[in-house]
Structure formats: C-alpha cells, structure tokens
Chain A
C-alpha cells in the first residue's frame, strides 16, 4: 500500500532470526525490525506513512480497532490452530514440524502448543469452547463490518495500516484450508468485508496472479 519494493522470503527459522521472536520482520540494509507496530514506525521514520492524514480522534480509533483485531481475531486464530484438537492433529502439527527432521518436528510442535495453551489460560481463554471462540469472531467481524459500512477503506478513500491488518487476517482466514469451514463462514457472512478483501487483493496483489478468493 505504501508502494515500497519488498521481497518476500520464507525461512523455517524465521522466528529465531527475529529480534523479538515474532514474525514477520523486515531486513533493510543492516537493520532488522519485527512485528507490524515497529515496522510501521520504521517505515514512517523513512518518510512513508498511510495515517498522516488522520486527526487525533481518528488515530485513536484506528489504534483501538487494530487492538480489537489483535485481541479477538489473532487470539481466535491461535486458538483454532493450537487448542482445537481436530485441527492440531490433522493440520497444525504436521505443518509446523514439516521443515524439521524427526524427532525435532514433534518436539517443536508440542512445545509451541504448550506455549500457546499457557498464553490462552493467562488471558482467560483457556476454558472457552470452540463455539464461544467462533461467537467472539462473529462479534469482531460484526464490529469491523459496521465500522467499514459502505466505504472502500476504513478511513474512507485511503487505506491505512488498519486496512492492511484487517486484510491480512481476513484473507488468511478465508483462504486457509482447515478441518472445518466455520471460521471462514463467519467472515463470509459479512459481504462488505468479503468485498473489501477482494478489492485489496485485486488492487495490490493482482500482478502476482495468486487470486484465491472465489
């Protein structure tokens, strides 16, 4: 969205290469910056920003909605990937351990699962059932859908980091194959969110020829 030249590289040890232990991170010259927040700051310091046109109240709103996405969508994604036994067994375990030889693939996958479950327990999601998690996702999507309304982007004509964040999560939810489709069905209930994803995909990613939204 900022028109910056980016080369995407996939690495199995990406989490260990990152300075904060989290992906994604960018490698620019001799600097490494990880996670969306710091990357946005870094890019802004270099003179590119999507949210300069917003006033203080709008910036507050944007930050609040970004936290909503982090709080609900991200946690729900983690829950589905690591705490739902069916998904863990069939998909996550194999996928997470696939770059490593046996027995490392099992050990690392179990370790990651244990870490995620610990985190869920600490924030009070440990006792949630899948249905409750899906309800939370629905509430979050409803809020996003109401905020978006009929506008092309969340803050009308220009995309901001909020649009990037929402697109990232929704696109992943819509296009990742899981054991059940309930999560993506929740998102599909909101036609303006679907249209939003399609629009961004077509506008910013079409040259990759990887359009996967049906």
Chain B
C-alpha cells in the first residue's frame, strides 16, 4: 500500500480534471475511496503510452480499463463501497450497465462522431496533447473506434444506417438521463450521504457532457434541464476537485 500509484490519463479543461469519461471515473473513485493517486496527464511529449488510457501503474502491476482499475484499488483496501448493502452493490452493477448501454453511445457520438463537434473541439484538443506525427493519426483512430462501437452494438449490419441509429441512441440517452434523475431524486449521492462506485461512474459519464462547450449540444441541453444531475456534478467538482481546477 505504500507503493506509489500512478495514473496516466487525459487532462482536463472547462473546469474538469479530465475530459475523458473513463479517466474521470477512476479519478473520482480514487478521491472517494481515499486512494493516493499520482496523476500523470498525457501531454505532447513521447513519455508514457496513449492507448488504452486510463492506466494505473504500480511497482509491479499495470492495470487498464476502469472496471479493472477499480477492482485493483478495492483489493488494496481503497473501497468506496464499504457501507453498501448487498442489494445496493447489485444495483450498482445494474446502473453501470444502463450507463454503458444507453448513455455511452450518445456520449461517444457527441464527442467523436458528430462532425461539427469532432472537428472544432474534440480533434484539436486531443491532437494538441499527442506528439506529432501521432497527432495526425490517433484522433482519427479514436473517432473510428467510437463509430464502430456505436454501429456494432446498435444495429446489425448490413441493416444499419448511421442516421437511423443516431435518432435511436439520442432517444435512449435522454431516457437514461431521465431515469438517473428520477433515481437520484433529492439525495446528495446515489446511495445516501457518501459517494460510491456508482457516483464515480455517473460523474465520469455526465461531467464531460455537462461542461465541455460543443457547437452541437442537444444532449447537453437535455442534461441541463435535469437540475439535480447538474447539482450532483457541481457538488463533486467543488468538494473533491477544487484544488486541481487550475489544470488545463
């Protein structure tokens, strides 16, 4: 437990410690569980790897993917779900599945596929943090990966067409946001007064959507109408990330 834990992830902007959902999930969980993470932000140098981010490095382990990283942290006794009942633990798994199936496709689309957003915001932001000439290739590859994931999980080729799929994924995402808002109600966190894994996931997925300034913002507009979800994000930002708001 004394070994330094280093997290490589994408950096922040627009008031967020990171604009990348998965990185944000891990950062939030670390704050909630008290894990001492040394955050290494990917910048334009060749140091560190850029694929498969976020990556947790310890003395003898390299762990990628948020679910595995969170599992690893729990085994190191940094457990934010200590006080949850078995049923709440089960609910956590179910809501995370809901986020991944219903909300993620639309978030991916907003960031990586929607042409205006991608070319004016996402691509320049990521390209500026990747060393040349990788900056010419990697954003495009990430965009293709996002499109692929949306199409493969939402329609069966060759019967899919992006336009039909688009309408459906935004409809699903708005419904998902409504469900989350209903479930949160007026509580501070999803399971009482202390934040847990589910709060980390919801924050990770919602915060970039909430804060990043995009030209095409239909999903963001919908989110902003759900005031309890916005309050949830702002609360976490203010309580847990106040000191790192200077990062850009």
Contacts and interface: CB of A to CB of B under 8 A. Distances in A.
B152 A118 contact: yes
A63 B100 contact: no
Interface in B156-180: 156-157, 159, 179-180
B152 A119 contact: yes
A21 B185 CA distance: 38
A60 B182 contact: yes
Given A56-B182, A124-B65, A147-B90, A64 B97 contact: yes
Contact of A122 (B65, B95, B152): B152
Nearest to A69: B97
Contact of A20 (B90, B97, B155): B155
Contact of B87 (A20, A56, A63, A146): A146
Contacts of A119: 152-153
Interface in B84-108: 86-87, 89-91, 93-95, 97-98, 100-102
A67 B185 CA distance: 21
A60 B190 CA distance: 13
B97 A147 contact: no
Contacts of A67: 94, 97-98, 100-102
For the complex of A and B, 7 pairs with smallest distance between CB atoms: A143-B90, A21-B156, A64-B94, A71-B97, A68-B97, A60-B179, A64-B98
Interface string A106-139: 0000000001001100111000000000000001
Contacts of A192: none
B187 to A, nearest CB: 11
5 contacts: A60-B183, A61-B183, A67-B94, A123-B153, A147-B90
A53 interface: no
B148 interface: yes
B149 interface: yes
A73 to B, nearest CB: 10
Interface in B72-126: 86-87, 89-91, 93-95, 97-98, 100-102
A18 to B, nearest CB: 9
Contact of A115 (B90, B148, B157, B179): B157
Main secondary structure of the interface of B (DSSP, over half): helix
Contacts of B148: 122
Given A67-B102, A68-B97, A61 B153 contact: no
Nearest to B183: A60
Interface of A: 15, 20-22, 56-57, 59-61, 63-65, 67-68, 70-72, 115, 118-119, 122-124, 139-140, 142-144, 146-147, 149
Nearest to B88: A146
Contacts of A68: 93-94, 97-98
Main secondary structure of the interface of A (DSSP, over half): helix
A146 B92 CA distance: 12
> Among A57, A64, A68, which residue has the most Cβ atoms of chain B within 10 A?
A64
Contacts of A15: 156
Contacts of A61: 91, 94, 183
Nearest to B102: A67
A57 B182 contact: yes
Contacts of B183: 57, 60-61
A57 B65 CA distance: 30
A165 B245 CA distance: 45
A122 B145 CA distance: 7
A20 B156 contact: yes
Contacts of B100: 67, 71
Interface in B129-169: 145, 148-149, 152-153, 155-157, 159
Contacts of B182: 56-57, 59-60
B153 A63 contact: no
